Copies of this chain bind each other. A is one copy, B any other.
Amino acid sequence: MGSSFGRLFCVTTFGESHGGAVGVVVDGCPPRLPLSVDEIQRDLDRRRPGQSAITTPRDEPDRAEILSGVFESLTLGSPIAIMVRNTDARPAAYADFKDTFRPSHADYTYEAKYGIRNWQGGGRASARETIGRVAAGAIARTLLRVSAHIEVLAYVRRVHTLTAAVDPSLVTLAEVESNIVRCPDAVAAEQMIARIEEARRAGDSLGGVVECVCRNVPAGLGEPVFDKLEADLARGMMSLPASKGFEIGSGFAGTALTGIEHNDPFTTDAAGRVRTASNRSGGIQGGISNGEDIVFRVAFKPTATISQPQQTVNRSGQAVTLQARGRHDPCVLPRAVPVVEAMACLVLADHLLRQRGQCG
């Protein structure tokens, strides 16, 4: 349960990290949208393991196949199913984890919930589950661009204690993709890469913060109460593996301001459009987009898989020492960037259709 997301633009992911395949079904996509497997592959390639020196050496091409819903490079309006075969499974590497709970992984909670788990990998808790999200997100991204020129761009804002200087309103995809850590601040990026490589050598891991900006979002998206736009963004981001926090606009730091300091004064721009002079609201007010850039941040904890011995227990409750041997990312941040973008696209696409449905 809980593998679906969205009310009108509705995605359902499936697949464990090891076994047949992972994938997604996108139901409710508008018809006649141009779509090729290349657009999907482009985002999958940004997410895939083995893409650089600071990601996991697990090397899978992650080639997407569109099984349905597209005809002559146009969407049909029917469900779009996309599948990626699992190819690089090495169950032997996980044999140690069959009866042992890896600290801060989901091994124990899956057992507690289901009384069974596929120990030959991370199961649904593996980052491989995000393949379906990224594939669906690529479709949502196309819908947003074609329908409303909306642009969604994420980047690494912080790794461990290193914070980048980035202006969300100006940052470009080229800047983000100019280095393997996906941080548009070139100086900080270099330090981050060094810090990550240092952690890897130490058998340790690092976390950080991804920031995301959504531009050209028309005013009016989002619902007043439970489905506030920031609530759905928060749900989407906090549903990502390893995320521990979400904030929008001024976020936690904004609590140190007073109301006089924090309020965004309204003004009008040259075109007579209502704007805000500042953007501490982060582009959303009362749960509804106000036409300004939507800016939010997501905290990712340091990767739980490390190469140092750790104390834990096995299924019988006996204390054991665990020495990880699986391949892993010393820092999940660079590969989290396209995943954050994908989830943001899914949220916005759903609300775009909902707004059209209710308010015409």
Contact = CB atoms under 8 A, between A and B. Distances in A.
Contacts of A5: 226
A176 interface: no
Interface in A290-330: 290-291, 299-306, 308, 310-313, 317, 319
A268 B305 CA distance: 21
B244 A101 contact: no
A156 B223 CA distance: 27
A281 interface: yes
A43 interface: no
Nearest to A7: B7
A16 B265 contact: no
Given A76-B116, A357-B358, 19 more contacts: A4-B10, A8-B354, A15-B68, A20-B81, A31-B359, A76-B114, A77-B359, A78-B123, A83-B83, A104-B281, A113-B220, A113-B221, A125-B224, A205-B259, A244-B247, A257-B302, A259-B306, A268-B313, A280-B301
A60 interface: no
- Copies of this chain, whole number: 4
Interface stretch (A22-30, A46-54, A178-186): A22-30
A215 interface: no
Interface in A241-261: 241, 243-252, 254-261
A59 interface: no
A112 interface: yes
Interface string A137-159: 00000000000000000000010
Contacts of A4: 4, 10, 12, 27, 226
Given A3-B79, A124-B224, A285-B106, A249 B254 contact: no
B12 A219 contact: no
22 contacts: A1-B8, A1-B354, A2-B226, A2-B287, A5-B226, A12-B79, A14-B78, A19-B68, A20-B65, A20-B67, A21-B81, A30-B360, A67-B83, A71-B118, A103-B265, A109-B287, A110-B286, A209-B252, A231-B234, A241-B286, A255-B301, A268-B313
